[in-house]
């Protein structure tokens, strides 16, 4: 709620860039999680975050009252446009750069990459609300109460949904022959 | 109760809650882009804005030209067309052109240098040559000096 008042004054502040940067620091991860829950693609979700902030930076229209909602809407629309275009660009194995230095051999890196892809695929099968709860819980380490404010329901309902989503994900992984370490 | 469900899960190959918990934690630790931890700098935004504007400009089919350049281009094309029309008209009427190098009476047809001449057709060459003074007949049949050059002599069989 405190954000709302600061957001209202955001457009009238002289140093807009600094304010956007500050907002990015505090909200980019949450936006990424929500976008990721929509598309199950980490890079695309990150692009959606960048795109939404970039468009706000160029935005010259009426003052934005709720910046978070504005950014979410812009990112969602961008994701929809991208999904409609069905861009199938050729990409390298995801995340291999981040694995370098953590694992010893290329085989380990590939195995880890495959595991990531398997879990990502299983997450994609879940419905969006279940996926959203899992993403907020594990990517942002949010409590049930924090997630409840975003999902507009009670913390108990979030706990229940979390438990159900985990179980459903485990079933999907077992069906797909996923091997646990 | 929960112990029973956990035992059932293990028997059916299902992972426990703790396993799923650690699996998801590890998964998202690698899944979250590291760039999100970096601050969003103004120059990044400016660079991104410049990139976007370049992309948008690149989508244009044709860059807008200045009015002067367009005027010069149009004038040049009109002048070229007018010159071409003048050449065609003068060629058809057989009018002499001053300084063009074409003699009066010639059709003004020109052939491009790459084309091969048509050998079977006779060339239209004036017996007077380039000189404008007509030569006189050198024989009773009225054959001029220039025309004798084209007479071929064959042995009688």
* Beta-bridge partner residues of A100: A103
What does the alpha-carbon distance between residue B155 and residue B157 come to, in Å, rounded to a whole number?
Answer: 6
Percent of chain A topping pLDDT 70: 81
Q: For B113, phi and psi rounded to 5 degrees?
A: -65, -20
CA distance readout (Å), B74 to A154, B66, B80, B82: 72, 13, 10, 12
pTM score:
0.54
* pLDDT at A158 > cutoff 60: yes
- From the list A51, A113, A105, A96, the residue with the least C-alpha distance to A78 is A51
The string of pLDDT tens digits covering residues A11-57 is: 455 577 888 888 888 889 899 999 998 888 888 899 899 889 988 88
Report pLDDT for B50.
Answer: 55
Q: Which residues of A touch B39 (CB under 8 A)?
A: 21, 24-25
Q: Cβ contact (<8 Å) for B33 and A174?
A: no
Please determine, for residue A157, whether its predicted confidence score (pLDDT) is greater than 90: yes
- Tell me, rounded to whole angstroms, the distance of Cα A36 from its chain centroid: 3
Measured between alpha carbons, how far apart are the two ends of chain B, in Å?
Answer: 133
Taking the CA atoms of residue A25, residue A31, residue A32 and residue A36 in that order, the dihedral angle to the nearest 10 degrees is 170
Contact A166 B35 (CB under 8 A): no
Q: According to the model, what pLDDT value does residue A40 have?
A: 86
Examine the pLDDT at B67 and tell me if it is beyond 80: no
pLDDT of residue A71: 92
Chain segment B27-53, per-residue pLDDT in tens: 998 888 888 877 775 556 656 555 555
Cβ atoms A75, A31 nearer than 8 A? yes
* Sequence-ordered list of residues with C-beta below 8 angstroms from that of A53, at least 6 positions apart, any chain: A20, A24, A28, A71, B40, B45
Judged on CB neighbours under 10 Å (0-12, 13-18, 19+), A77 is middle
Q: Span A98-108, mean pLDDT?
A: 63
Nearest to B23 by CA among A119, A129, A32, A133: A119
Contact A139, B31 (CB under 8 A): yes
Q: pLDDT band for A163, please (50, 70, 90 cuts).
A: very high
Residue from A42, A50, A142, A170 whose CB has the most chain B CBs within 10 Å, to mutate: A170
CA gap B75, B14 in Å, rounded = 81
Q: For every residue of chain B, which 3-state class applies, written as one string?
A: CHHHHHHHHHHCCCCCHHHHHHHHHHHHHHHCCHHHHCCCCHHHHHHHHHHHHHHHHHCCCCCCCCHHHHHHHHHHHHHHHHHHHHHHHHHHHCCCCCCCCCCCCCCCCCCCCCCCCCCCCCCCCCCCCCCCCCCCECCCCCCEHHHHCCCCCCCCC
Alpha carbons B77 and A121: distance in angstroms, whole number: 62
Query: Residue A109: which pLDDT band, with cuts at 50, 70 and 90?
Result: confident
With contacts defined as CB-CB under 8 Å, which chain A residues touch B17?
163, 166
pLDDT at A1: 39
Indicate if the pLDDT at residue B148 is higher than 80.
Answer: no
User: pLDDT tens, A124-141?
Assistant: 999 989 999 999 999 888
Interface check for B35 against chain A (CB to CB < 8 A): the answer is yes
- A43:B32 CB<8 A: no
Distance between the two ends of chain A, CA-based, in angstroms? 43
Give the number of other Cβ atoms within 10 Å of residue B80's Cβ. 10
DSSP state of B153: P
Name the average pLDDT for chain B.
Answer: 67
How confident is the prediction for chain A on average, in pLDDT? 81
What are the C-alpha distances in Å from A133 to residues A118, A150, B26, B33?
19, 10, 16, 19
Min Cα distance A72 → chain B (Å) is 16
A59 vs A11: CA distance, rounded Å = 10
Are A52 and A75 in contact, with CB atoms under 8 Å apart? yes
A158: helix, coil or strand? helix
Describe chain B by its helix, strand, coil percentages, rounded to 5: 50, 0, 50
For residues A113-132, give the mean pLDDT.
90
Check residue B52 and give its pLDDT: 52
pLDDT attached to residue B17:
85
Dihedral sign computed on CA atoms, order B72, B78, B84, B87: negative
Q: How far is B8 from chain A (nearest CA, A)?
A: 13
């Amino acid at each position: 709620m405190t954000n709302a008042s600061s957001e209202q004054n955001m457009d009238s502040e002289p140093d807009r860039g600094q304010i956007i940067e500050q907002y990015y620091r505090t909200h980019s991860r949450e936006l990424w999680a929500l976008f990721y829950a929509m598309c199950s693609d980490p890079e695309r979700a990150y692009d959606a975050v960048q795109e939404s902030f970039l468009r706000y930076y160029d935005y010259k229209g009426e003052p934005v009252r709720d910046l978070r909602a504005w950014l979410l809407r812009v990112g969602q629309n961008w994701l929809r446009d991208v999904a409609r275009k069905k861009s199938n660009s050729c990409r390298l194995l995801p995340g291999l750069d981040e694995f370098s230095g953590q694992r010893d051999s290329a085989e380990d890196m590939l195995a880890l990459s495959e595991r990531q892809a398997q879990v990502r695929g299983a997450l994609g099968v879940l419905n969006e609300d279940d996926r959203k709860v899992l993403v907020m819980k594990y990517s942002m380490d949010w409590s049930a109460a924090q997630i409840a404010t975003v999902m507009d329901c009670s913390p108990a309902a979030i706990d229940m949904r979390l438990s159900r989503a985990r179980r459903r994900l485990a079933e999907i992984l077992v069906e797909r022959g996923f091997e646990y370490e | 109760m929960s112990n029973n469900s956990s035992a059932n899960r293990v028997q059916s190959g299902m992972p426990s809650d703790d396993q799923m918990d650690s699996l998801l934690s590890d998964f998202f630790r690698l899944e979250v882009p590291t760039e999100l931890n970096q601050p969003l700098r103004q120059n990044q935004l400016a660079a991104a804005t410049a990139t976007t504007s370049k992309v948008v400009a690149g989508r244009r089919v044709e860059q807008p030209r200045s009015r002067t350049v367009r005027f010069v281009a149009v004038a040049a094309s009109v002048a070229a067309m007018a010159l071409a029309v003048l050449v065609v008209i003068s060629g058809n009427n057989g009018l002499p052109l001053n300084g063009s190098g074409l003699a009066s009476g010639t059709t003004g047809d020109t052939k491009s240098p790459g084309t091969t001449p048509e050998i079977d057709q006779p060339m239209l060459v004036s017996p007077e040559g380039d000189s404008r003074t007509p030569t006189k007949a050198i024989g009773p049949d009225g054959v001029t000096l220039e025309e004798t050059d084209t007479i071929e002599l064959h042995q009688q069989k």
